[in-house]
Structure 1
Amino acid sequence: MKTQYDYLIVGAGMTAANAAKAIRKNRPSASIAILGEEKHPPVTRPALSKKLWTDPEFTEDDIWMITDDDRVEIHTETRITRLDRAARTVATEDGAEFGYSKLLLATGGAPKTLPDLPASDRVLYFRTYADYQRLRDAATPGARMLVAGGSYIGCELAAALVQQGCEVTLITPDNVLGEPLFPDAFARHFQDTFTEHGVSVITRRQVTGGSVGEQGVCVTLDDGSTLEGDMLAAGIGITPETALAEQAGLSVDDGIVVDQWLTTDDPNIFAAGDVARYPDVRLGAQRVEHVDNANQMGTQAGHNMAGVASAYTHTPYFYSNVFDLGFRAVGTADASNLDTVSDWQTPNRKGAIFYLDDDTLKGVMLIDLDDQLDAARALLEQPTITDRDALKGKLT
């Protein structure tokens, strides 16, 4: 039996919520449904590793993105396994069918996992609200928490947990925490900030396996050493969920390929968010896994699906907050492969980091300079830099 909708969204993250709201704004009487694998409706995902841990005035009541006023049907714990483009239907693994006039693939990504450590009560691959609930319940004072990965999520979780009184060990393969993002001097300051707050940081090591018992988890590192804890939380990246698009014959290249209108090879199917590879007007082909992109691209996809179409021209930024450090970046922030120029207003506290490939500006990182985000984005519109010293003072 098939349930028919005007607009169908596969995936129940922030991209889906923003798209549904944009569709509703333009099509007040349309039928809209979101189909998601998670146990809960769309939530403000960054809060799961940030504000819910650090802002006592921000509560779990504040995270929900879809309200009754949006008039969106949400099907949770619903896994779509087949897309029939000719029939304009999608089907679940148990055979239920949903029809659509326009479809958005906002399938996001699946967390990468560690060898021999499947997800369990003791091993958490952090991404969902259910993951937050489990970790929050376990984060009691004195709990021994292992965190794998020096990514945004890994760093944010380590900071959040130590501020709950947990004993936290953060394991990163980098020589210095933050090494892929920051020039060496600031990376060392970044790592020192964690150790000063009580986090034990283990560098140049990766988790290669482990085991789970009644009393906790034991992980093995690549030098053969072991660490024991009550729980392991991992933030080691995601893999884009492209299986449905591939099954349907849509173009996939490190994500679902879309044009500037966020349309796939099929004019009735759009893709947006973490899973979409799109042509950024400033940076070329990109796939971006950050909240600003989920918000802006999801909204634009909704407008385009509803027939109020325009090209997606927004270059998204990403951000993170740990302890008293807050940074925002636009473009490519890759200190491992790009040259950097730092311009500090206050050393290691307030300033800008510029990322260059020869004479081309590729990205800008802002530390405690949130009001300069638009100015940083404007610099990427004319990226040729003939005098690197001239960058200093542009934003500080």
Structure 2
Amino acid sequence: MQRHDYLIIGGGMVAANAVNGIREHDGQGSIAILGAEPDGPVTRPALSKKLWTDPEFTFDQIWMAPEKDANTTLYTNTRVQSIDRDEKTVTTDDGEIHGYGQLLLATGGTPVTLDNLPEGERVLYFRTVRDYNRLRELSGQQRHIVVVGGSYIGTEIAAALVQNDTQVTLIHTEEVLGGKMFPKSLASCFHQRYLDQGVTLLGGHRVDNGRTHGDRVTLALDDGTTVEADAVVFGLGVTPNVEIAERAGLEVDDGVIVNERLQTNDENIFAAGDIARYPDQILGRQRVEHVDHANQSGTTVGHIMAGSQERYDHTPYFYSNVFDMAYKAVGTLNSSLETVEDWAIPQEKGVVYYLKDGRVKGVLQLNMEPDKLEEAREVLADTSEQSEKTLIGRIRID
């Protein structure tokens, strides 16, 4: 058995940041990362964004090297089977046992899949470096690729592919792409951007099933029609990987329940990133699957595990870049809420506020440089009743 002062289950962005956070307070303690993927930590958002659209951003730049020293070890292709909280050990699938002083769960999420269409060489549930590499092989030369899913990953991949000599069909459940998130006028412009770039949009549909035959994939939709392509990429969201925590008797409810110090109901076990359901000081208890949260919660939990008395008091933002549209947001973006729009250039540059019962629940900033995220957080933290009169001009649009 190997024993470590700090043991991290999960080899992604949270792990890399946690190692660096630990090293800011403890330069000598032994650290081990147990990662299930064959690669080390990567800047995962680049797999669907910059690697496709920024010629100056190279593949070598995606790697996130945690602080390297003789007391830090990264294990890849290593899956953890169980945690023994009494003995303070974890056991991997191949029977290896690792002891810990402090344990961090950073297991991330698993892509949602269709039961009747397993992952294959031409069917990708996009998340990993392998998925990116395979999609590069399948795309280009005007091949036809179907993207399924109208949320962040699906819209980003569709935009990336069509800008890289690929015919793209995007299947999504909304009548207007982005309609569940953006107010009507902005959703209409978002939708039109894809049409203008040559993406075929099949809105209001779901994929019932599909099959691979030779070098082709055929999808059957819920209206009885079929779509054939060279490959299909699914972006249907992820399910948090909480099984290990649940088997260990930790409190789980749509994520691993943690306190303001990212600590579970076991004082020696912490959780951060996608799986942590934490008490946000502005938005209340929630679980966040975005990169800012992975970076900030990872660094903070590293500090805390190494003895810092700080709390995780960051309210994370999320962002996306497609074509000429770059947005950042904090809080809830749901078009069913009341919205107040403040535009410098209509549907091109401005701020959208999302309200419920007079309280601001979300703030979207479109094509604003520099961003005003701290001002957005201040608006969200303001508990007084808001309206168009109080919000127009509140965040200055440079």
1:6 aligns with 2:14: no
1:174 aligns with 2:179: no
* TM-score, L = length of structure 1: 0.98
Instruction: For 2:343 and 2:66, locate their aligned partners in 1 and report how far apart those are by CA, in whole Å.
Output: 43
Indicate conservation of the 8 Å contact 2:19/2:66, yes or no: no
Secondary structure of the equivalent of 1:279? strand
Instruction: For 1:245 and 1:309, locate their aligned partners in 2 and report how far apart those are by CA, in whole Å.
Output: 24
Q: Which runs of 5+ in 2 are unaligned?
A: none
Secondary structure of the equivalent of 2:8? strand
Secondary structure of the equivalent of 1:220? strand
Output the amino acid matched with 2:353: F
Output the amino acid matched with 1:324: D
Misfit runs of 4+, over 4 Å: none
1:137 shift after superposition? 1.5
Q: In the TM superposition, what whole-angstrom CA distance separates every residue of 1:168-214 from its partner, at most 9, and x where no partner exists? A: 00000011101121011100100100110010011000111010111
Output the amino acid matched with 2:266: D
The corresponding residue for 2:24 is 25
1:95 shift after superposition? 1.1
Instruction: For 1:323 and 1:141, locate their aligned partners in 2 and report how far apart those are by CA, in whole Å.
Output: 20
Output the amino acid matched with 1:393: G
The corresponding residue for 2:109 is 109
**Count of residues in Structure 1 that have an aligned counterpart in Structure 2:** 394
Judged with a 3 Å threshold, the aligned counterparts in structure 2 of structure 1 residues 151 and 70 are, in CA distance, closer, same or farther, namely farther
1:27 shift after superposition? 1.0
The corresponding residue for 1:318 is 318
Secondary structure of the equivalent of 1:380? helix
Q: In the TM superposition, what whole-angstrom CA distance separates every residue of 1:118-157 from its partner, at most 9, and x where no partner exists? A: 1100110001111111111111221110000001000000
* TM-score, L = length of structure 2: 0.97
Indicate conservation of the 8 Å contact 1:78/1:92, yes or no: yes
Indicate conservation of the 8 Å contact 2:2/2:98, yes or no: yes
Instruction: For 2:335 and 2:386, locate their aligned partners in 1 and report how far apart those are by CA, in whole Å.
Output: 20
Q: How does 1:241-256 map to 2 (within 5 A)?
A: 241-256=241-256
The corresponding residue for 2:43 is 44
The corresponding residue for 1:229 is 229
The corresponding residue for 2:134 is 134
Q: In the TM superposition, what whole-angstrom CA distance separates every residue of 1:41-60 from its partner, at most 9, and x where no partner exists? A: 00001100011111111111
Q: Which runs of 5+ in 1 are unaligned?
A: none
Indicate conservation of the 8 Å contact 1:16/1:42, yes or no: yes
Indicate conservation of the 8 Å contact 1:46/1:291, yes or no: yes
1:70 shift after superposition? 5.2
The corresponding residue for 1:361 is 360
Indicate conservation of the 8 Å contact 2:365/2:371, yes or no: no
The corresponding residue for 1:145 is 145
Output the amino acid matched with 1:377: R
Secondary structure of the equivalent of 1:223? coil
Secondary structure of the equivalent of 1:69? coil
Instruction: For 2:6 and 2:264, locate their aligned partners in 1 and report how far apart those are by CA, in whole Å.
Output: 16
The corresponding residue for 1:274 is 274
Secondary structure of the equivalent of 2:371? helix
Q: What's the Cα RMSD here?
A: 1.1
1:339 shift after superposition? 1.3
| Identity %, equivalent residues | 51
Instruction: For 1:363 and 1:387, locate their aligned partners in 2 and report how far apart those are by CA, in whole Å.
Output: 14
The corresponding residue for 2:238 is 238
Output the amino acid matched with 1:347: P
Indicate conservation of the 8 Å contact 1:362/1:383, yes or no: no
Judged with a 3 Å threshold, the aligned counterparts in structure 2 of structure 1 residues 11 and 67 are, in CA distance, closer, same or farther, namely closer
Secondary structure of the equivalent of 2:136? helix
Judged with a 3 Å threshold, the aligned counterparts in structure 2 of structure 1 residues 70 and 296 are, in CA distance, closer, same or farther, namely farther
